[in-house]
Chains A and B, each alone.
Chain A
Amino acid sequence: MAYRLGVDVGGTFTDLLLIHEETGKTWRDKVPSTPQDPSIAVVNGTKAITATAGIAPSEITQFLHGTTVATNAVLEGKGAKTGLIVTNGYRQILQVARSLVPGGLAAWIVWPKPEPLAALENTVEVSGRLDGQGHEVSPVDAAQVRQALENLKGQGLEALTICLMNSYLDGRHELEIASIARDIFPDIPVSLSHEILPEMQEYERALTSVANSLVRPVMAMYVSNLRRELRALGMAGRMNLLRSDGGLMGSEKAENAPVNLLMSGPAGGVTGALWVSRKAKLDNILTLDVGGTSTDVALIENGAPRLRRETSVGHLTVRASSLDVKTVGAGGGSIAHVPELTGALRVGPESAGAVPGPACYGKGGEHPTVTDAHVVLGNLPGALLGGSFKLDRDAATQAVQTIADALSVTLEEAAQGIIDIANENIYGALRLVSVQQGYDPRDFALMGFGGAGSLHSNAVGKLMGSYPVIIPVSPGVLCATGDATTQMRYEHARSFNKGISKTSDAEVAKWLAEMKEIVHRELEDEGVARNDQIVTFEAGVRYMGQGFEVDMELALPDFEAGIGTAVLKDAFDAEHKRLFTFNLDVEHEIVNLRAVALGQGAEMPASALADGNSDPSAAVVSDHEMWVEGEKCPAKIYDRTKLRAGNNVPGPCIVCEMDSTAVILPGHVGTVDAFGNIHINPVNAA
């Protein structure tokens, strides 16, 4: 029996989804995260879910994992102390950066001067120089390098980065220096820029490589601990981690190049939402992943998320591909407070996190959080996680009352205010990916997920006019669904930098064939049989002299048949004209070549729901009371597992399931589709 296990570690909960590969049967679970060592929760969850499913951990053939370990290390400034080794004359490469002050005219007046990612006092210059064509100008002087590195001893470095001028053309000096560095610093990882990012532009290469070093020790420790623990459980399957670009990579590779995982967690949500949207036949979706400490939003247009050639975490932007996800510090655990000075109500960015958590969790938290406000308003039932997690209503009331007192309003008004402000913050993030990119949110459906997404999605959808609001199946483990259903991916790129007249179809064909072999082997190493792989090729092409290239698809047979460059020229001219309205009578330059191998994802069949009629009353658990817009309304609680396809669920109500609770507002109705997704629309439009 073959099983896949998807695991997503969030700030508050660790979510798990187990899939039986042949039948598509799924189990899900949720355990509290353990931020000190996130692997504890992963292991606990794995034990729990395999017990529930009645299988042995050894039956798991693939362990698929999205992690925010690297992300958090960057956000919390807890990355490794990194030494940087650069070419003579370039010690200030990160200090001077690209000289760019972001923003418009005069933005420098208010721009906070950034600190370089590797401190200047930990940056040393070394001998050895290549020229701009990759030829050696001067060799590495081992004695000088040794001396320079000795000077870094005693600085307490936890990682080293080597980035030399022109190393994207030839990494030999970096390799030479790395061997000396490993000799002097045998216990810390060394990242080489020509391996992390073999591209021209010394600053971007240095920054990306330093970012890799920054998160490498923490990721290595995490991944190796996790591997050991899971192996100890008997889990013999492959461990794959989700990259920021939504593809999977083997855990050993992830340890060495964690810069590709900085947005691993959010990528899981987007890939999960994609899976749901394909089933629900929706092309345009705004995603809203509300967790305990933060909210991630993304835009999916025509069934494809936006992919960027860079990754941004907090203020750090590096050259590694990622799905375009924006994050704000507003989540279920965000703490409400009233600063004395202004007397205004603020929510977040401080969060109660998983420990102690919101007051209603009864774990010693006293600060009023967004979740406590939901409890006060009746948006949450008396207990979560299928009844196993009781909510302390009195504690929530007490906490929110402190806000009511500070504002001199009623308890419910204070609670509503907290929710409104949280929604406004979330709305702001959604505007960044929609309105500010020129998209009209009214053309998009809104899918809320994560622990608290479905508590907010109806209200936020109403603010933005984004309908239907989708409550996906298993919203609480959607990220884990994404982890479990996405594909293995391996990409190999090489600089080519030749005019088309200076190369030949045969030469390109030879390169492509070599690259094809490399990506095939990489995925084979990851356990994907060659027959199950799809390999595609791309070339970055431009008119000689331009600074940016257009990515063009290539077909290897064209080059084998001797028509590849001719086809490419025409295709590029057509694309350039389409994109930019003109062509130039200038030689075409092939800047780089890329081969991408994709494994097959688990085509997890969505289980269809039994048909019912429009009447959902069979799923009613109990009558309930909710506060909506300052009034107490009679409402109902529904059990989601009892809803049937075709049911129309009228608001106001809450719909409960094991790992999530959804709110449907008055004046709205939720229609259950064939797979169990709920589509919420205003009553008059439904």
Chain B
Amino acid sequence: MPAQIIETNTAAFNAVDINTITLDIIENALRNAREEMDATLFRTAMSPGIREQGDAFPLIADRRGKMIVGQFGSFLDGFLNGYEGTIEAGDMVWLSDPYSCEGAVSHNNDWLIILPIFREGRLTAWACMFGHMTDIGGKVPGSLPTDALSVFEEGIRIPPIKIYKKGELQEDILKLVLHQTRMPEWCRADLHAIIASCRVAEKRIHEICERFGDDFLASATDELLERNKRAMGHLINTAVSESKVSFEDYICDDGRGHGPYKIKCTMWRTGEKVILDFDGTDPQAMGSINFYLNENMLKMFFGIYMVMVFDPQVMFNDGFYDLVDVRIPQGSLLKPDFPAALSCRTHALGRIFDVLGALLGQGQPEFLNAAGFSSSPHLMFSGHHEDTGEWFQLFQIGFGGIPGRPWGDGADGHSLWPGFTNVPNEFLERYFPMRITEYTSLADSGGAGQNRGGNGILMTYEFLNAGIISIHDDRWFTYPWGVNGGEPGSRSRKILRKGDGSEVILPSKCDNIHVEKGDQLDYITWGGGGWGNPLKRDASLVALEVARGLVSVEAASTLYGVVLNTDGSVDIKATETKRASKVDTDKTREIFNFGPDINELRANAIAETGLAAPIAPKW
């Protein structure tokens, strides 16, 4: 039975005519309120994951729960369907269990606050925010065990409960939950920050209603949704074909030695509707890479991608949801059965974006981007300070190469996620026992192309205190693909150098790796795929990038066909000859260049990566 909303005033909102200027003002005021939510959160939160890296997502929805501003789309539907209880003025809901809200949040670390905004007895709007907690207990620091077999190993699970009941903070619940984490102070501050940011939105909603009237807000949000639906309807009609296109990509392994896992999606249009069908996606994994994908969230991803690829001027909200039909097979990697482990879903979440981009671009390769930095790799480092005995715990997100694009080169060492930034190394060095001795993008790691894929990052951590680390990464086995003649980007690697000079290749996903004072970790992320034939890249630009240390002399010659003189300038004649000979031998290229096939990858895994190939999963 769905949630029961208690309104003491059941009068319907009156429809009012709103002129364009007022509509624009209301839309901008809501957008601004959303930005204020972010600002409040970043200013008051404590964990670097939230306040530096922006791993938190705000949302303001209309009275029906449709997102008006935000970026992951509204997940309120899922919550309302699953919540058995009442919602009334003064209540505030807290949850983290993906299975309780149809994947509104997708692992236990994301704490979601849902605040219904009532005015004079009527539900008027919703403000929500979720943020990633550094630690919520469970078997490993960080609470994202790479080898978990069920969600019960992944820290505390919070079903939808009221943290505020009729305006009253439920202190005992808070105490109970914070007792489970290794970082209660950060969690307390971060939770308060999330609540405060929802309160900001609530205040702004009241102000807007006082200024324009409650009926105006209701009519304005209706009109904003309708406006978006019209624009998206037009875009869908022109950009999506009625014939089916499919695309498949992989998650390399499940953290338990099995893989790769396939994600497959087929897209077509029927009338005004787009269908996104994940039939053919592999069944759920035994390990924690499963991603409980909320359908509405996917609609928003799809909508935003389409807008960005074809017409960046369109403003988006939930208005177009009826135009998209998402089908995800139950029991698959993207809709696993309870109690499948979910904590390491970041890889599948990221890969979805590569899949969507490939689907949308396939029909019109001029709009197609190469495979991007489709994950957010993590490093966890924790332990007790040798001198004080105090506990420290770091959760850090890494970055990599933006893919080559029709618009140009991909950026080196950047983030595909909105609002994510790196943590300043000076901050890490001041507050954690570590030193960052090298921080650079890695030459040649971006796929060669007419538009080069961005390079991945090499970050070398020197640990100044013993502790344990966890690593979460992917694309160590399959390649970030290139398109339209571009080469794939290079794969990720992790190398631990011990004090005695020995080197260990660490798995892409691992926990409980002990490090000693003085050990060094090379954390290498993958590069973006290249776009277009590298032989068409401006030779002088290739030479310049060699001087800049972004491309090597060898790669300039072998991949770009550019021969350099000893002073670094282009040997024009030799380059022309070399490029001409390569064009002749070059067979017609496919749209996608995935690199070697899975069998070849398996055969060469140890030699190329230092790690054994994953075992093919069996169901």
Contact = CB atoms under 8 A, between A and B. Distances in A.
B435 A435 contact: no
A454 B242 CA distance: 56
Interface stretch (A105-113, A239-247, A595-603): A105-113
A168 B412 CA distance: 27
Contacts of A96: 399, 412-414, 422, 439-441, 457
B40 interface: yes
A580 B44 contact: yes
A137 B434 CA distance: 13
Contacts of A438: 28-29, 32-33, 204
Interface stretch (A72-80, A200-208, A478-486, A554-562): A200-208
A576 B40 CA distance: 11
B413 A108 contact: no
Interface in B24-53: 24-25, 28-29, 31-33, 40, 42-46, 48, 51-52
A637 to B, nearest CB: 34
Nearest to A205: B426
B409 interface: yes
A547 B28 CA distance: 28
Contact of A584 (B192, B399, B425, B548): B192
Contacts of A166: 426, 429-430
A89 B409 CA distance: 24
A131 B435 contact: yes
Listed residue (A89, A109, A137, A547) with the most chain B CB atoms within 10 angstroms of its CB = A109
B420 interface: yes
Contacts of B430: 132-133, 166, 200
B309 A109 contact: yes
B425 A202 contact: yes
Contacts of A104: 71, 304, 418
A437 interface: yes
Contacts of A435: 24-25, 28
Contact of A92 (B31, B405, B424, B439): B439
Contacts of A168: 426
A201 B427 contact: yes
Contacts of A582: 44, 192, 195-196
Contacts of A132: 426, 428-431, 435
B194 to A, nearest CB: 11
B28 A121 contact: no
Interface in A268-292: none
B46 A546 contact: yes
B385 interface: no
A156 to B, nearest CB: 14
B32 A92 contact: no
B51 A581 contact: no
B407 interface: yes
Contacts of B538: none
Contacts of B440: 89-92, 96
Contacts of B413: 92, 95-96, 99
Interface residues of B, number: 83
B122 to A, nearest CB: 23
Contacts of A100: 414-415, 419-421
Nearest to A200: B426
A109 B460 contact: no
Given A99-B413, A547-B52, A108 B372 contact: yes
A77 B412 CA distance: 23
Contact of B405 (A109, A548, A584): A109
A109 B369 contact: yes
A123 B439 CA distance: 14
A426 interface: no
Contact of B416 (A108, A110, A131, A579): A108
B196 A581 contact: yes
Listed residue (A95, A96, A108, A114) with the most chain B CB atoms within 10 angstroms of its CB = A108
Interface in A106-157: 106-114, 119-121, 131-133, 137
Contacts of B273: none
Interface stretch (B148-156, B182-190, B588-596): B182-190
B48 to A, nearest CB: 7
B429 A131 contact: yes
Given A108-B416, A110-B312, A200-B430, A121 B304 contact: no
A563 interface: no
Nearest to A108: B402
Contacts of A342: none
A101 interface: yes
B262 interface: no
B195 A119 contact: no
Contacts of B610: none
A547 B409 CA distance: 33
A385 B112 CA distance: 64
A584 B196 CA distance: 12
A547 B51 contact: yes
A548 B547 CA distance: 39
Interface in B529-548: 544, 547-548
A133 B430 CA distance: 6
A105 B309 CA distance: 12
B308 interface: yes
Nearest to A116: B548
A339 interface: no
A254 interface: no
A105 B418 contact: yes
Listed residue (A119, A132, A579) with the most chain B CB atoms within 10 angstroms of its CB = A132
Given A96-B412, A440-B211, A548-B42, A91 B196 contact: no
B438 interface: yes
A436 B32 contact: yes
B559 interface: no
Interface string A572-595: 000010011110101000000000
A356 B544 CA distance: 38
A92 B427 contact: no
B439 A101 contact: no
Interface in B480-516: none
Contacts of B415: 99-101
B29 A546 contact: no
Contact of A109 (B407, B419, B544): B407
B457 A91 contact: no
Given A98-B421, A202-B426, A546 B25 contact: no
Contacts of A440: 25, 211
B308 A203 contact: no
Contact of B439 (A89, A546, A586): A89
A643 B208 CA distance: 42
B408 interface: yes
A543 interface: yes
Listed residue (A99, A104, A110, A581) with the most chain B CB atoms within 10 angstroms of its CB = A99
A546 B547 contact: no
Contacts of B40: 579-580
Contacts of A186: none
Given A113-B411, A547-B42, A584-B192, A99 B422 contact: yes
A568 B590 CA distance: 67
A109 B353 CA distance: 12
A546 B51 contact: yes
A103 interface: yes
Contact of A547 (B45, B188, B195, B416): B45
B395 interface: no
Listed residue (A204, A431, A546) with the most chain B CB atoms within 10 angstroms of its CB = A546
A453 B549 CA distance: 49
Nearest to B188: A584
A107 B424 contact: no
12 contacts: A88-B437, A91-B440, A92-B439, A96-B457, A105-B418, A109-B305, A113-B410, A436-B28, A437-B32, A438-B204, A580-B193, A582-B192
Given A435-B28, A546-B46, 13 more contacts: A90-B439, A95-B413, A95-B550, A99-B413, A105-B304, A113-B410, A119-B548, A121-B547, A132-B431, A132-B435, A200-B430, A547-B48, A580-B40
- Closest 3 A-B residue pairs measured CB to CB? A132-B429, A120-B548, A89-B438
